[in-house]
Structure 1
Amino acid sequence: MSVDQLVTMIKPMLEGAQMTVLLFLIAIAVSIPLGFLLTLAVQSGIKPLAWCAHTYIYVMRGTPLLLQLLFICFGLPMLPVIGEYLVLDRFTAACLGFILNYAAYFSEIFRGGLLAIDKGQYEAAQVLGLSKWQTTTRVILPQMFRVALPAVSNESVTLVKDTALLYAVSVPELLHYAQTVVNRDFTIVPFFIAGIIYLIMTLLLTAWFKWLERRFKFD
């Protein structure tokens, strides 16, 4: 295989990788804050709110992400009366599906981080005269994120790989272009190239999280 042929294969796949990276950045930027809000809702003393949050998390974690994407892309427009107002661009619908799904997972990660904090931390903050807001922002949240960071890192890597599901809802991402090149050139080389691109993306993301762990001494 010549260099020109290899470049011809890689160029469209790199364009698809841009879509993959864009989806990842949007999903991670929105799902993490949303997941934290869900954690607060679950921990809330308002029982209806906590129940709704628990139910949402159970449904989103208990059903396949692919099913959720298909429902948002193709099911919502079929709903009676309101369906015509729920027709979304495929990429927008995919972003929404990833955000809603991963917010539920991040919520459970943050909840685990909160449960890992010793109750003595609250008592110590109270003895020091810290307000509830100060206790939360200066004592509890930093420790929670410290505990949750490794799990957030793992979930983020999973998110990168799950972007391949865009292929199922006809969003032209990395895997879509790889399959297109395979069909055009009758070679499996594009699949190997796609695998290498995914590995590079996950490697860079993992290295960044490792840097965060060293930077903030999350040992």
Structure 2
Amino acid sequence: MPEKYIKMLKAMLAGSLTSLEIFFLTLLFAVPLALFVAFGRMSKNRLLSGITNGFLLLIRGTPLMLQLLMVYFGPLLFVKWLSSYGIQISIKWDRFVAAIIALSINYSAYFAEIYRGGIESIPRGQYEAAKVLGYTQTQTFFRIILPQVVKRIVPAMGNEVITLVKDTALVSVIGVEELLMVANKRQSAMFSFVPLLIAGVFYFVMNWGVSVCFSRLEKKLSYYS
């Protein structure tokens, strides 16, 4: 194999590792955050539910690319604005960290609505039965409701997670060198479409892995059917 292709593959593998790192860190933060957002959305407190609804409308109603730009450039512009009033603040804002924050906030909004749909699909009779049996609200949710919710939301969560794999490519807009950005650079340098084809294969393999994991998870949870 020519040396230029070996260098290309090494660079793209490094880009793939960055994409995977973004993917897993986003899930790590977005999945638990979404549960709190879902509780806020379902809260009987009008102020809390109103704020949460506003957050969901804002996040789901604006492009992810715009959110990435706002999270990365927003703090820098704010510091610049403060400096015009004589307030000097030093800030180092990492592109990678900004990407994780933006993706985590974005996906927590979508996951929260999936959680809410799953929780509200559970019949009220199950809550009442658990209360009669002496379960607390916390025990009822984690021992009875949550396992059924997980089973019901697996297909929808699988779709969103697959979308996340592809959305990692958007972080290139703030200069994070993930897989697609590396592929674009190699394409320009080599005057060849091959790097983009290889990037497509890499994304396909990653999404295939996600699909297999969710299929196995769905089968393991089939005893709730």
TM bucket, shorter chain: over 0.9
Gaps of 5+ in 1: none
C-alpha separation between the residues in 1 aligned to 2:109 and 2:98?
17
- The structural deviation recorded for 1:76 is 2.6
Q: C-alpha distance in 2, partners of 1:83/1:214?
A: 57
Instruction: Please give the alpha-carbon distance, in whole angstroms, between the structure 1 residues aligned to 2:106 and 2:146.
Output: 23
1:91 pairs with 2:90: no
- Give the CA deviation at 1:209: 0.9
The worse-fitting range, judged by mean Cα deviation, of 136-145 and 121-130 is 121-130
Count of matched residue positions in the alignment of Structure 1 and Structure 2:
218
Q: Could you tell me which of 91, 101, 105 is aligned with 2:110?
A: 105
Q: Which residues of structure 2 form unaligned runs of 5+? A: none
Paired residue for 1:48? 47
Aligned to 1:172, which of 172, 177, 187? 177
CA deviations over 1:71-127 (Å, ceiling 9, x no partner): 111233112328956651011111110011111011001001011111121122223
TM-score (norm. length: structure 2): 0.91
TM value normalised by structure 1: 0.93
**2:216 corresponding residue in structure 1:** 211
* Aligned 8 A contact 1:77 1:85 in 2: no
SS of 1:45's partner is coil
Identity value in percent = 38
- Cα deviation, residue 46, structure 1: 2.2
> For 1:28 and 1:85, how far apart are their aligned partners in 2?
30
Cα deviations across residues 138-169 of structure 1 (Å, max 9, x unaligned)? 11111111111111111011000000001111
> Does the residue aligned with 1:9 lie in a helix, a strand or coil?
helix
In structure 2, the residue matched to 1:125 is 130
CA distance in 2, matches of 1:133, 1:83: 47
User: What secondary structure, in the 3-state scheme, does the structure 2 residue paired with 1:88 have?
Assistant: coil
- C-alpha distance in 2 between matches for 1:5 and 1:207: 33
For the residue of structure 1 that corresponds to 2:66, the secondary structure is helix
| 1:16 aligns to 2:15 (yes or no) | yes
Deviation at 1:8, TM superposition (A): 2.6
1:4 Cα deviation after fit = 4.2
| Aligned-partner Cα distance in 2 for 1:63–1:83 | 32
Q: Which moved more, 1:37-46 or 1:180-189?
A: 37-46
RMSD over equivalenced CA pairs, Å:
1.8
Q: Distance in 2 between matches of 1:56 and 1:84?
A: 28
Give the distance between the partners of 2:136 and 2:206, measured in 1 at CA.
42
Q: Secondary structure at the match of 2:135?
A: coil
Report the residue type matching 1:149 in the other structure.
Answer: V
Match of 2:30 in 1: 31
Please name the residue that 1:72 is paired with: 71
Distance 1:53 1:15, change over 3 A: same
**Rounded Cα–Cα distance in structure 1 between residues aligned with 2:89 and 2:100:** 19
